[in-house]
Structure 1
């Protein structure tokens, strides 16, 4: 688990909109990633 991490309070849709509006590139967005360390951190914070 990575204890040195940053969290930002934005939704994936907000990030997707910014990327599509501001960058001239073909991108593909995945709304569900493995994010094993993140999910582990969530479990610890819920305890």
Structure 2
């Protein structure tokens, strides 16, 4: 079971199924989402 440890303006810290602490960086997540949308919706004009 995953457990959320903290939520801040920069991201979320949680404990994964194996007991390891992990961090989801909101800025990096947003950059990846934008790159995905550009790639899948051909928004780069190619």
Report the TM-score, using the length of structure 2 for normalisation: 0.31
Higher helix proportion (structure 1 or 2): 1
Determine which structure has greater relative contact order: mean sequence separation of CA pairs < 8 Å that are 6+ residues apart, divided by chain length.
1
